[in-house]
Copies of this chain bind each other. A is one copy, B any other.
Amino acid sequence: MAKELQKLQIIPLGGLGEIGKNMTVIRYGNEIILIDAGLMFPDEDMPGIDLVIPDISYLVENKDIIKAIVLTHGHEDHIGALPYILRQISAPIYGTRLTLGILEGRLKENNVDASNLHPVNPGDIINAGCFSVGFIHVNHSIPDATGLSIRTPLGMIVHTGDFKFDYTPIDGKMTDFRAFSELGNRGVLVMMADSTNAEREGHTPSEKTVGIAFDKTFRNARDRIIIATFSSNVHRIQQVMDNAVKYHRHVAILGRSMINVVTISLKLGYLNAPEGLIIDIDEINNFPSEQIVIITTGSQGEPMSALTRMAMSDHRKVGIVPGDTIVLSATPIPGNEKLVARTIDNLLKLGANVIYGRDQGIHVSGHASREELKLMHNLVRPKFFIPVHGEYRHLVKHAQLAEEIGMDPDHIFIAENGNILEFTRDKGAIVGKVQSGKVLIDGLGVGDVGNIVLRDRRQLSQDGIIIVVMTMDKEKSCIVSGPDIVSRGFVYVRESEELMNNSKERVAASIKKCLENKVTEWSALKANVRETLGRYLYEQTRRRPMILPIIMEV
């Protein structure tokens, strides 16, 4: 294929129409680089599922031409699929030090080889096939986050990563305006930009405002302070530590992921804690309560997390007592509202002072609001724009924003996972689709739970199951034993003895009739049981349990 005929393709495999499992393929000719490889947490219509990762069939088919995997930052929705997909594909992995530090831990936990990780610094440019990828520092709710400039034979692609513009960042490092601006000056073919907060007017507040709210909390609290936040929000943790120093408190760290991230961040220098500040959780009772602050996981009300256990009076090491001040430094992720509310209620019942809610200044988002998005668009001024990292309505709002500031609507692509977006130097279009979707992880199983299993689980959860067992002599065409009926999740059998006895009689009569009419095919008999019993139970209870006829042969 002559080079000038080759096209540049962008193929999102995850992250469009959803917040989670971000993953994007950049392809030119027979060379691919992959941006991010994240996971998503399951919806409530996926009972029993632990995690969701993107379907990577397309990558597996093209595994020999993957030149690099580049990571924008260390959040689970950007790196969390790697422990699973690195069993099927491989390539050098590039990311900043904290990103790779967190990833390394995940890979080792899952017994996956972590030798192909290549740390970069913001400002670095790496080469992978025909691509050169530059890493651009951005502000986000985790340090060491980056946007990407991807130089391709047909032009420059800019991917913002997850970002905001924080004019007073905790580590003093602002989103690298100049880099984005210079790229804009030189000409950008396509921009992909974070749409998470495209619904939100104005400007996301600086992370520093949270420190001010913490200061007030520390000033007022007389006894222990317990602060729950996301473990990856290292700047938030730094601000807790800074206040602890100021107000002469020691810091104990609680929760497995919190301990992991704090350990890595201290080691790599992303967290600064003076000697003696951090104490072991077992030491907290050696100090008066006014000298203690505990940083913990559980800000989302996760059932097994440290804070939730404390709220349930079920934590081995920390019991909540009246006088404790507890700060929920996070906003509930959609779907977690009720879990968080329950945790707050439980903490209040134990007599704690709980600081929570949007108007307390104790949390800010890590994503750009509309005015920041406008700034990014004006810095980069791309020819084509693909809103990414958002549910469908966020992508729509972001597209509308781009139009409002003057972009040609024909140059904006609201795409779906799996779409092939193809670009030349001056044209772009969605030209096709590759396989994409969700791979469900349940225990050790990756992808073995599909729609039928999920449908069964949902049905089982609604009205339970009725099992009808009988033993038949097929030659003599008669029931040898049974029918017996066993139910689970339907009704208390003791309270419904009559219903169960009537059910048995009806099934027996119905089978007998079948046999008299020479209907002896087991599939027909089973269908008959399901129909007879299903109708009877619905009449009696208005419920539709799963009915499972089992016929044994002797």
Binding site for B on A (CB under 8 A): 17, 43-44, 47-48, 199, 201, 334-335, 337-338, 341, 344-345, 348-349, 354, 357, 359, 391-393, 396, 442-445, 448-450, 452-454, 456-465, 467, 469-471, 480-482, 484, 486, 488-492, 495-496, 540-543, 546, 548, 550, 552-554
Chain A binding surface SS class: mixed
Partner of A392, one of B348, B460, B550: B348
Distance in angstroms from A402 CB to nearest chain B CB is 16
Extra contacts, 7 of them, besides A460-B461, A481-B553 (Cβ < 8 A), are A43-B338, A201-B359, A344-B393, A345-B393, A450-B492, A453-B492, A457-B489
B542 touches A471 (CB 8 A): no
A392 to B349, CA, bound (A): 8
A546 CB contacts on chain B under 8 angstroms: 488
Identity of the chain B residue whose Cβ is nearest the Cβ of A482 in the assembled complex: B552
Instruction: For A17, give its contact among B345, B359, B469, B496 (CB under 8 Å).
Output: B345
Q: How far is the CA of A491 from the CA of B453 in the complex (A)?
A: 6
Establish whether residues B341 and A548, one from each chain, have CB atoms under 8 Å apart when the complex forms: no
Task: Name, among A43, A48, A335, A481, the residue most crowded by chain B CB atoms within 10 Å (CB to CB).
Answer: A48
In the complex, the answer to whether A47 meets B462 with C-beta atoms within 8 Å is yes
Contact between chains at A445 and B48 (CB < 8 Å): no
- Complex-state Cα separation, A399 to B117, whole angstroms: 56
User: Nearest chain-B residue to A453 (Cβ)?
Assistant: B489
Which chain B residue shows the least CB distance to A496?
B448
Give A399 Cβ to nearest chain B Cβ, in Å: 11
Nearest CB of B to A433, in Å: 16
Cα distance A225–B132 in the bound complex, in angstroms: 50
B550 touches A486 (CB 8 A): yes
Judge whether B334 and A341 touch: CB under 8 Å.
Answer: yes
What are 26 pairs between A and B in contact, CB < 8 Å? A44-B338, A47-B461, A48-B461, A48-B463, A48-B464, A201-B359, A334-B341, A348-B392, A354-B393, A442-B541, A442-B543, A443-B541, A444-B542, A448-B491, A449-B491, A453-B490, A457-B489, A460-B461, A460-B464, A467-B550, A469-B550, A469-B552, A471-B552, A481-B554, A484-B552, A552-B552
B residues near A43, Cβ cutoff 8 Å: 338
Measured CA separation A250–B554 after assembly (Å): 70
In the complex, are the beta carbons of A492 and B341 less than 8 A apart? no
**Within the assembled complex, what's the spacing in Å between the Cα atoms of A491 and B449?**
6
